[in-house]
Amino acid sequence: MRTFLISLLLISGSLFNIHAQKTELKFNPDGKFKILQLTDVHYIYGKPEAQIALDNIDAVLAAEKPDFIVITGDIIYGKPARESMQTVMEHVSKAGKPFVALFGNHDDENGLSRKELLEIIRSYPLSLNTTVEGIHGVTNQVLTLKNKDGKPEMAFFCFDSNAYSAIKGVKGYDIIRFDQIEWYRRQSEQFKADNGGVPLPALAFFHIPFPEYAQAASDERKPLIGSRTEYVTCPALNSGLFTSMKEMGDVIATFVGHDHDNDYVTVFQGMLLGYGRYSGANTVYNHLKPNGCRVIELTKGEEGLKTWIRLRDGRIINEVAFPEDFAR
């Protein structure tokens, strides 16, 4: 009965993506699938110092030639919002690869709403952005990576991590809300049902880290690979998203932004928790220089992933294989 109800929800679209995935994501001829994560571009149209962010986008995309691009929030940081967003999208689109853009806490502070910004992003042919009606946030969606037979081999959950706390007496950043978590759980259950009762492996992308990032970084028994030069600025409350991911058994890794001076990966309760590399310019604080991006590489038929940081000057740092490098 439960599976039947979930199927009805899928058909109606009331709790799922309201637009079908425009482009199928597939492994390349080498059996690899490379994701390039840009984060915290913080672009301001017309500011000379913001050019470094655009130069970074051009450089890392040319060097890595990814199969898919994910931008994990705080894309723009000032007015004019439309021109700022269009400029970033044009540079991302030049790579000729499909992409998805998620919102951070600053994107809609510059004169356009999240929905208006989403329409700009979706106007670019290579954008895979959709939305889910009836739940909090605008950039919630799930994409699938398929094999040559068209069967999903992995899911990519994208969450809008909202902005600032709306709960009276609770300061700081918002949580990923309960209706978003319920949407994720239902979609995860459907993937599992379609996969013969086995959870479909997944990655998750969002902007603001959940509290487990702070717990993981404080565990001296676990390796932490990369830079951690500021504390984790997560919500004061825990909505239970991490617990839901562990219960569903599908998400193997999460990737966030938000904290400009962190670019590390570590493991918590068997899940890889990663930051991207600050991709913006000197329009806001940043001490990890030069800027760059994170790269995530999947291999067909293999569990886990490889990830590294690509810097704007061409260097590669902090190469990691998960779970191998954390098994010792």
**Is the residue at 14 inside a domain?**
no
**Is the residue at 187 inside a domain?**
yes
Dihedral sign, CA of 278, 96, 161, 32? negative
**Is the residue at 300 inside a domain?**
yes
Average pLDDT rounded to a whole number, residues 247-262: 98
Residue span of the structural domain in which 64 resides:
25-326
Please provide residue 64's backbone torsions phi and psi, each rounded to the nearest 5 degrees: -95, -25
- Poorest-pLDDT segment among 55-64, 306-315, 319-328: 319-328
- Kindly give, in sequence order, each residue whose CB lies less than 8 Å from that of residue 284, ignoring residues fewer than 6 positions away: 40, 42, 77, 260
pLDDT for 222 equals 85
Q: Band the pLDDT of 77: cuts 50, 70, 90.
A: very high
Average pLDDT rounded to a whole number, residues 288-301: 97
Taking alpha carbons only, the member of 107, 114, 110 closest to residue 131 is: 114
Domain containing residue 109: CATH number: 3.60.21.10
For residue 87, what are its two tokens?
């400029």
Task: Report the distance separating Cα 64 and Cα 61, nearest Å.
Answer: 5
Q: How many residues does the chain have?
A: 328
pLDDT for 148 equals 84
Instruction: State how far the alpha carbon of 228 is from the alpha carbons of 8, 155, 217, 232, 299, in Å.
Output: 45, 28, 9, 9, 28
Burial status of residue 83 (CB atoms within 10 A of its CB: 0-12, 13-18, 19 or more): middle
Average pLDDT rounded to a whole number, residues 255-276: 98
**Is the residue at 238 inside a domain?**
yes
pLDDT for 149 equals 84
Considering the chain, what is the average pLDDT of its residues?
93
Kindly report, residue by residue over 52-75, the tens digit of the pLDDT. Answer: 999 999 999 999 999 999 999 999
Kindly report, residue by residue over 11-64, the tens digit of the pLDDT. Answer: 334 444 444 556 889 999 999 999 999 999 999 999 999 999 999 999 999 999
- Enclosing H/E stretch for 253: strand 251-256
Percentages helix, strand, coil for the chain (3-state, rounded to 5) are 25, 25, 50
**Is the residue at 20 inside a domain?**
no
**Is the residue at 284 inside a domain?**
yes
DSSP letter (8 states) at residue 27: -
pLDDT for 20 equals 52
**Percent of the chain residues past pLDDT 90, beyond the cut:** 89
For residue 271, what are its two tokens?
């899940």
**Is the residue at 16 inside a domain?**
no
Kindly report, residue by residue over 134-179, the tens digit of the pLDDT. Answer: 999 999 999 999 988 889 999 999 999 999 999 999 999 999 999 9
Pairwise pLDDT comparison (9 vs 196), residue with the higher score? 196
Instruction: State how far the alpha carbon of 15 is from the alpha carbons of 9, 101, 134, 192, in Å.
Output: 6, 20, 7, 17
**Is the residue at 8 inside a domain?**
no
Tally the domains of the chain: 1
- Kindly give, in sequence order, each residue whose CB lies less than 8 Å from that of residue 109, ignoring residues fewer than 6 positions away: none
